[in-house]
Amino acid sequence: MPKRVLLSETDLPDSWYNILPDLPAPLPGPLNPVTLAPLQPADLADLLPQKVIEHEFTQDRWVEIPERIRDVYKIWRPSPLVRAERLERALDTPAHIYFKFEGVSPSGSHKPNTAVVQAYYAAEEGVRRLTTETGAGQWGSALSFAGALFGLEVNVYMVRASFEQKPYRKSLMRSWGAQVYSSPTRRTEAGRKILAENPDSPGSIGIAISEAVADALSREDTKFALGSIMNNVLLHQTVIGLEAKKQMEIMGEYPDVVIGCVGGGSNYAGLAYPFLADRLSGERPRTRFVAAEPEACPTLTRGKLAYDYPDTTGLTPPLYMHTLGHDFIPGSIHAGGLRYHGDAPSLCLLKEHGLVEARAFPQTEVFDAAVRFARTEGFVMAPESSHGLKAALVEALAAREAGEERVVLFNISGHGNFDLAAYDSFLAGTLENPTVTDEQIAASLSDLPSPAASA
Amino acid sequence: MPKRVLLSETDLPDSWYNILPDLPAPLPGPLNPVTLAPLQPADLADLLPQKVIEHEFTQDRWVEIPERIRDVYKIWRPSPLVRAERLERALDTPAHIYFKFEGVSPSGSHKPNTAVVQAYYAAEEGVRRLTTETGAGQWGSALSFAGALFGLEVNVYMVRASFEQKPYRKSLMRSWGAQVYSSPTRRTEAGRKILAENPDSPGSIGIAISEAVADALSREDTKFALGSIMNNVLLHQTVIGLEAKKQMEIMGEYPDVVIGCVGGGSNYAGLAYPFLADRLSGERPRTRFVAAEPEACPTLTRGKLAYDYPDTTGLTPPLYMHTLGHDFIPGSIHAGGLRYHGDAPSLCLLKEHGLVEARAFPQTEVFDAAVRFARTEGFVMAPESSHGLKAALVEALAAREAGEERVVLFNISGHGNFDLAAYDSFLAGTLENPTVTDEQIAASLSDLPSPAASA
């Protein structure tokens, strides 16, 4: 048995898998943020490329990947699938632990899987500029890389706190030619308003989205790009799971449990949905699906399933999702990509139907798992991905208890090269485990939008 | 034609290639640092594992790779070989540009190719601790990773200036469980002496080697590990070129020119020597070999071929090499791995016989090439590797001038995720091009050791 399965580029999927037609119930659609009536595709026309809007609403099970996008995927795809035998031995478990490794992309995570698609269609449709928001910087990096390849000017509104604390993410984006702004900026009405009220505002994802959206709407040649939660993003990420299925087949195994971390849900859906298709069709009725999240931001485990805004200021279409409230502020954890108040609607629906289990972990247990992994399998992974690893360890240890040869598959969504300050804190014993009370959640859920009667 | 060739692990070489028996002339051996008479293998017995000493002196053309080392290589090897078609189009060149990509290893460079070998043999021979020096941190990271896998305590003496300026490299080593000291330390006589003279000493590679050697010699359970210039290190690195030969064969091409950056020579020898074997055997008499170095530290282009100490303080066996003098201090450039006063003896001999050409480049041209590459091929590479890229661009543009379909192969020895401050300086226009005068070189060459009459 090989340790690592590397497919050749002829094995690169030629279509993305769309789970929408296979869901166990119809997916409640997004709302118009102004009228709160059901959103029409045309409502998004000023904001997103036409083809991206099509991908958002399509009910086609398979969506063909254009040749020029496959050409770009080939820079780092297919990504490796690896059997973690050293980790298995260290855990003394009969479980077989596999990981899919998305850290090999130029920006170091799974994010380019959708960034190159959004950039490609924008360029095809004559767009010259893209705007986006970024927190810790993974998404902004991915879009900067993608924009460089298709000749687009990428404008990233980066949350001020990260802009100042993570200078190297900013440098990476600029190396690809992007403009990076410390948000709130004086470039938009929204930014100027915040700065007038509080010149020292550290910014937030919500503010940065507002600024990026305002920038895109203010110019004919500009569109906006988003890196998670939307259907089109999840669709593009399914290349991960489609490759992993072929790779598991080469290993002669099929996972008993498919695991990943969830911030907005895109890396997890990317890995899990192609396997979920087999469960939904009845072909693999016993495969389990585990979504891992931080205790500090427990959207799937403790959030409410309701319509809520994806951004803090209510400029974007409300989605029907597990939410902690659009003004929920999670405790300060290092997994910046998991500090988000909501989740992708399709993932929420699957969780509601018992097809996806959710688990929340405290920060120190997650880092303990990551260090254990680094010292056996070598790779130092992102704190986000370490949540999936932690869930995989729980499964592997349960398999040992049960004496079962359980097959565990999890996703490493990105490498940890930009997160080493967090490892430092963990090794120094200064890492904390922020939690959240029911009262805090109830308070931030008090302000949800009410769908119009027609929704 | 595929863009990227990924071999399966069954294609991993089962032996390393040793160029020593194929060199066009006998290689002058190292000297005993005390007597300056020819060094005997036994002189190294307290310092290095026995098997590493064997690899240093062997004349066998092929040296078998133990199965347990191949098992570790499989974590990231075979590494990809990629055709840079987007770069070719951007340059409008008929040249075919290929790169081998060593940035996929857990520590991000080619260094683990030898680190795992040295750690494996040390563990096999009952060694419990390894010591080493590191400047920018690539080598220290690689040995920390390797040590973790074989249960060794790794002690890294890190040059104080880097220890303070590159905190994340230090964090990475600690994540793998290594002890990292800011050198000069109070742990060794050499360190204490330097600190007594100058409490604010920024340290140097020479001092750090002295400390690591002293530490290793002071304890029965400890050996020393070195990451470049020695024959055994170059031997271990030939997995790069052996894989690349198979990959080029799959592409149906053979390189007209094989290129890499040279600090001590290990990544370049690793890629080039298996191809050089074909030139030395007469099978491929016209293949060219180009070694790229910084103008700020022009060892191959302007150094003297003579015996000199690998370390600054003269504790280590003098080698017959191109040197700028063991107390030469190069200008401050970001390619820390290329700021070394000497080169591997076999590479120097090949250069002397006209088999390897050397080229020196100014820092800004090198970064300009790296940014161009990032914006076409995606990957942001280390400043060291960018020297090889720059030489590849020179070849590709010459091919355009000549209207030739030249096949160019170069090595990306590592990714640039820990070098983004350097990219920042380049993009801000504040990067300088330090050079060195003939007088400076002459001054630092005034203090070379004289071999004993018997040498």
Per-residue confidence (pLDDT) for residue A166, from 0 to 100: 83
Q: Is the pLDDT score of B7 beyond 70?
A: yes
Q: Is the pLDDT score of A455 beyond 80?
A: no
Please compute the mean of the pLDDT values over residues A443-449 and round it to a whole number.
93
Do A260 and A308 reside in the same domain of the chain?
A: yes
Do A50 and A84 reside in the same domain of the chain?
A: no
Cβ of B438: how many Cβ atoms within 10 Å? Answer: 8
Q: Which residues of B touch A173 (CB under 8 A)?
A: none
Q: What are phi and psi of B76, to 5 degrees?
A: -135, -5
pLDDT confidence of A428, banded at 50, 70, 90? very high
CA distance A253 to chain B (A): 18
Q: B346: which residues sit within 8 A by CB, 6+ positions away?
A: B19, B20, B23, B27, B231, B234, B265, B269
The domain in which residue A156 lies consists of 15-33+43-61+111-230
CB-closest option in A104, A175, A371 to B427 = A175
CB-closest option in B105, B177, B374 to A176 = B374
Write out pLDDT tens, residues A76-100.
999 999 999 999 999 999 999 999 9
Residue where one domain finishes, among candidates B231, B262, B285 = B231
CA distance A399 to chain B (A): 24
- For A99, nearest residue in chain B (alpha carbons): B75
Average pLDDT, chain A: 95
Which range has the worst mean pLDDT, A305-314, A377-386, B356-365? A305-314
Write out pLDDT tens, residues B319-337.
999 999 998 888 888 888 8
CA distance B348 to chain A (A): 34
Which range has the worst mean pLDDT, A176-180, A375-379, B303-307, B325-329? B325-329
Q: Is the pLDDT score of B391 beyond 50?
A: yes
Contact A74/B4, CB-based, under 8 Å? yes
Assigned domain for B449 exists: no
CB-closest option in A2, A105, A417 to B418 = A417
Q: Which residues of A touch B79 (CB under 8 A)?
A: none
Q: For residues A331 and A294, what is the distance between their CA atoms, to the nearest angstrom?
A: 10
Contact B171/A424, CB-based, under 8 Å? yes
Please compute the mean of the pLDDT values over residues A70-79 and round it to a whole number.
95
Q: Which two tokens stand for residue A329?
A: 């502020």
Do B102 and B120 reside in the same domain of the chain?
A: no
Contact in structure between A344 and A269 (CB atoms under 8 Å) = yes
Do B350 and B328 reside in the same domain of the chain?
A: yes
Assigned domain for A294 exists: yes
Contact in structure between A258 and A363 (CB atoms under 8 Å) = no
> To which residue do tokens 């929920």 refer?
A328
Do A47 and A104 reside in the same domain of the chain?
A: no
Residue A225, helix vs strand vs coil = coil
Do B147 and B224 reside in the same domain of the chain?
A: yes
Q: Is the pLDDT score of B455 beyond 60?
A: no
CA distance B2 to chain A (A): 7
Assigned domain for A291 exists: yes
DSSP 8-state secondary structure symbol assigned to residue B44: G
Assigned domain for A315 exists: yes
Which range has the worst mean pLDDT, A157-166, A229-238, A267-276, B403-412? A157-166
What is chain B's percent helix, strand, coil content, to nearest 5? 45, 15, 40
Q: Which two tokens stand for residue A18?
A: 């769309």
Assigned domain for B184 exists: yes
Among A168, A426, A427, most B C-beta atoms within 10 A, so best to mutate, is A168
Do A298 and A237 reside in the same domain of the chain?
A: yes
pLDDT confidence of B362, banded at 50, 70, 90? very high
Contact A175/B379, CB-based, under 8 Å? no
Please compute the mean of the pLDDT values over residues B41-49 and round it to a whole number.
96
Interface of A with B (CB under 8 A): 2-4, 6-10, 71, 74-76, 82, 86, 104-106, 108, 145, 148-149, 167-168, 171-172, 174-177, 371, 374-380, 415, 417-418, 420-421, 423-424, 427
Q: Which residues of A touch B376 (CB under 8 A)?
A: 148-149
CATH number of A214's domain: 3.40.50.1100
Assigned domain for A161 exists: yes
Contact in structure between A304 and A322 (CB atoms under 8 Å) = yes
Residue B409, helix vs strand vs coil = strand
Write out pLDDT tens, residues B72-128.
999 999 999 999 999 999 999 999 999 999 999 999 999 999 999 999 999 999 999
What ipTM does this complex have? 0.94
CA distance B167 to chain A (A): 8
Write out pLDDT tens, residues B154-173.
999 999 988 888 889 999 99
Among B68, B243, B380, most A C-beta atoms within 10 A, so best to mutate, is B380
Q: Is the pLDDT score of A19 beyond 80?
A: yes
Do B243 and B349 reside in the same domain of the chain?
A: yes
Assigned domain for A198 exists: yes
Residue A257 burial (10 A CB sphere; 0-12, 13-18, 19+): buried
Q: What are phi and psi of B308, to 5 degrees?
A: -150, 160
Do B136 and B84 reside in the same domain of the chain?
A: no
- For A5, nearest residue in chain B (alpha carbons): B8
Do A412 and A265 reside in the same domain of the chain?
A: yes
Q: For residues A206 and A186, what is the distance between their CA atoms, to the nearest angstrom?
A: 16
Contact B106/A175, CB-based, under 8 Å? no
Q: How many CB pairs under 8 A join A and B?
A: 129
Please compute the mean of the pLDDT values over residues A425-431 and round it to a whole number.
96
Q: How many domains does chain A have?
A: 2
Contact A174/B424, CB-based, under 8 Å? yes
Please compute the mean of the pLDDT values over residues A118-136 and round it to a whole number.
96
Q: A351: which residues sit within 8 A by CB, 6+ positions away?
A: A291, A300, A322, A357, A358
Do A369 and A397 reside in the same domain of the chain?
A: yes
Among A101, A175, A334, A427, most B C-beta atoms within 10 A, so best to mutate, is A175
Q: Which residues of B touch A177 (CB under 8 A)?
A: 375
Residue where one domain finishes, among candidates B213, B231, B249 = B231
Contact A106/B176, CB-based, under 8 Å? no
Per-residue confidence (pLDDT) for residue A333, from 0 to 100: 87
Q: To the nearest whole percent, how much of chain A has pLDDT over 70?
A: 99
Residue where one domain finishes, among candidates A214, A230, A246 = A230
Assigned domain for B67 exists: no
Do A86 and A182 reside in the same domain of the chain?
A: no
- Amino acid letter, residue B330: P
For residues B257 and A194, the model is more confident at B257
Q: To the nearest whole percent, how much of chain A has pLDDT over 90?
A: 87
Q: B27: which residues sit within 8 A by CB, 6+ positions away?
A: B20, B320, B345, B346, B349
Contact in structure between A6 and B6 (CB atoms under 8 Å) = yes
Which range has the worst mean pLDDT, A248-252, B164-168, B175-179, B241-245? B164-168
